[in-house]
Amino acid sequence: MAPSRRHGGRGPHRGGPPLRWLWAWMLVVVAVVAATWNDHGMNGQHHNPILLVILLVTTATVSYVTLRFTRRLYRLRHAVEQISLRDLTARVPVEGKDAVSALAQSFNRMVDRLDAQERVRRQFFADLAHELRHPIAILLGRLESIQDGVLPLNEEQILHLHDMASGLKRIVTDMNELSLAEVGQLSLHVAPLNVAELVGQLQGNLEPVAEGVGLELISDVQGGMPAVMADGDRLRQVLTNLLTNAFHETASGGRVTLTAKRSGNQAVFEVADNGPGIDPEDLPHIFERFYRADKARSRARTGSGLGLAVVRSIVELHGGSTQVTSTPGEGSCFAVKLPLAESQTDTTQ
C-alpha cells in the first residue's frame, strides 16, 4: 500500500508532532540544568556533581520511556488509519507485556477476525457466482425455448422450472448458513436434548421418504443414553442432511441406519448406508464446499453441493466433530460427535 500524503511516506517511528514536542522538551530541560549549574558556579556555590548526574539520568530515563511509549502509540494510530482505508494487512508490533502491548495484541486479533471475515465474504461471492451461473443459464435456456415455441408450456415444463428454481433457492440458503457458521455468527440455542426423542422424530419423518425410494430406514439408540447439548433444530438439520444424502447414494432395496450411542463424554450419531461407498482419494475432501466425489453427477440430483460443508460447520459450532469412513462397494458411515449435557455440567461445577 502506498504511503498516504498525510504522512509524507514516513513510517510511524520517524517523527510526528508528539515526538517533536518530546525532543523540544528534552532540550529545554538540559538548557535549564546547564543554566542552573552555571549560575551556581558564578555565585561561588559548591557544585554537587552527584545531584547533577542523578538529575540528568532521571531526565534521560523519563525521556526515553516517554519517547518509546509515544512511538508505540503512534504506530497503533498509523495502523488504525490503514484499517480505515481497508488495508487489512496492517498489524502492530507487540513489545513487552504492559498495557500498550495488550492493546496491540487486541488490535491484531481484531484485524485477524476482520481479515478472516473479508476472505469468507469474497469466497462466498466467488463460489456463489460460480454455482449459480450454470443453473441460471439452463433455466433461461428453457424459458427461451418455451417463449420461442420449441418447448410446450405444460405441467411437465412448469415442474421442471419449479425444481430448478427450488435448487437455486437451496444454494443461496446453504451458502448463507455456511458463511454465517464459518465466522461464528450462526445463532444457536443450545440446551439439553433428549437423544431418543430426536431419533424417534427423524425415524417418523423420514421413513416415508425412504420407503418412497425403495429403502429401509433403521434407527437404534443405546439404552440409558443421556441428553446431548445441542440446538435441536440445527441437530435435526445436520442428521436430516446426512440421511437424505444416504438416500440419494443408496440404490433401491438398500438400507440406511441411524444410530446414537455414548462414547466417553460424547454422544456419537452415525448414519450408515450400503451404497457404492466413497473412493479413498475423495474422503479428505468430502466436507469441502461444492465438492462432488462423482464429477459426472449433476447438481440437480446431488443438491447444492454445500450440505456436508454446512454439516461440518454447524457441528464444530457445537464444539463437536465430524468424520467419515467408507469402503468402496460396501457403503459409507458418517459420524457426528457432540458433548453430552452431563459433561458440560461437570465442567462448570
Please, which pLDDT band fits residue 202 given cuts at 50, 70 and 90? very high
Amino acid at 203: Q
Q: 269 and 332 in contact (C-beta within 8 Å)?
A: no
Q: Which among 67-76, 90-99, 242-251, 287-296 has the top mean pLDDT? A: 242-251
Task: Give me the sheet containing 266-273, strands edge to edge.
Answer: 216-221, 255-263, 266-273, 331-339, 321-327
Task: Take residue 202 and report the three cell numbers written for it.
Answer: 427423524
Instruction: Quick: pLDDT tens for 11-55.
Output: 444 444 445 555 666 666 666 666 665 655 555 555 556 666 666
- The class that CATH gives domain 114-182 is mainly alpha
Q: Which CATH superfamily is domain 191-348 in?
A: Histidine kinase-like ATPase, C-terminal domain (3.30.565.10)
pTM: 0.57
Beta partners for residue 270, in sequence order: 259, 335
Instruction: Quick: pLDDT tens for 224-282.
Output: 999 999 999 889 989 998 999 999 889 999 999 999 999 999 999 999 999 999 988 88
* The predicted structure's pLDDT at residue 238: 92
Going by C-alpha positions, the residue among 262, 195, 256 that lies closest to residue 230 is: 195
* The predicted structure's pLDDT at residue 9: 41
Q: Which residues of 215-232 are buried (b: 16+ CB within 10 A; e: fewer)?
A: bebebebeeebebbbbbb
Q: 311 and 322 in contact (C-beta within 8 Å)?
A: yes
**191-193 vs 228-230, strand pairing mode:** antiparallel
CATH 3.30.565.10 domain locations along the chain: 191-348
Rounded Cα distance, 64 and 86, in Å: 33
∠ CA 79-82-85, nearest 5°, is 155
Instruction: Quick: pLDDT tens for 100-154.
Output: 778 888 888 888 888 887 887 787 677 777 767 777 888 888 889 888 888 888 8
CATH 1.10.287 domain locations along the chain: 114-182
